Amino acid sequence: MWEVELNGKQHPNVVNKIGSIAQWYLKAAQYWENTEATTNGVLGGFGILHEPDIHDSNEFLDFLNKNFGLQYGRVIDCGAGTGRITKELLLKHFQTVDVVDQNPKYIEHMAQEFNSNPQVQLYITSGLQSLNFTELYDCIWIQWVSNYLTDDDFINFLTRCKNALKKNVNLKTCLFTLLYFCKQFYIKGIIIVKENIANSGFVVDKEDNSVTRSEQLFLELFNQVQLVLVADQLQSNFPKELFKVKSYALMSQY
């Protein structure tokens, strides 16, 4: 798909070609520039999704904390928009939250929203395709934004995410043997990707230049970055006419 849309190759089934990577990202930026900075706006007119979305994400974080040692230290909200997820989810779990969005108006909105909250520390204006992390994180939260990245940029972004994960203070796991053998290990940071899922292949929306990937495509991309899927969650209580939504918890293989 990317070769046809971006690299000049012709295909009879492709109309209104995007033309270049710069044009791909420009259209998405323009779409969000013209979207109102409200919960209903950032949810595409589906404000009713907010409560079930936050409810299930809360449960997923609790599950990861209890079963995979997710630490509630520092998290970054990637593609944070108006700060909806930061406010209603991440600040209720993590000690420190950083936010990143490509649109200055959303960064300004969040700076005003969280002005008196010292938990929110860094406000970063950047597209994820060019984001370079300056901190290490216990959790990197990526929701409804990876669909704007090309496959190559998504792979490169996930690689940078993997390198920005913390390895927390080592703990001792005692394996019950006659010698009470103890093994040292590190609790690793976790990347969480929450996205719409196509039934197969991919679906391109040229209104905002986004691509909805199938689960198979997501898993292939995760594998290329040597990320291990440790848990996933199917979103509940969304309207049946919408794409299904899944959360993926990923840890580095090494």
Residue list for the binding site? 79, 84, 128-129, 143
Known binding-site residues for S-adenosyl-L-methionine equal 79, 84, 128-129, 143
Q: For residue 34, how many C-alpha atoms fall within 13 Å in the half-sphere facing its CB?
A: 7
Q: Which residues contact 57 (CB under 8 A, 6 or more apart)?
A: 85, 89, 194, 247
3-state percent breakdown (helix, strand, coil) of the chain, nearest 5 = 35, 25, 35
Q: Nearest-CA neighbor of 145 among 84, 92, 188?
A: 84
Dihedral, CA of residue 146, residue 132, residue 188 and residue 156, to nearest 10: 50
Beta strands 227-234; 244-252: pairing state: antiparallel
> The tokens of 44 are what?
């595409």
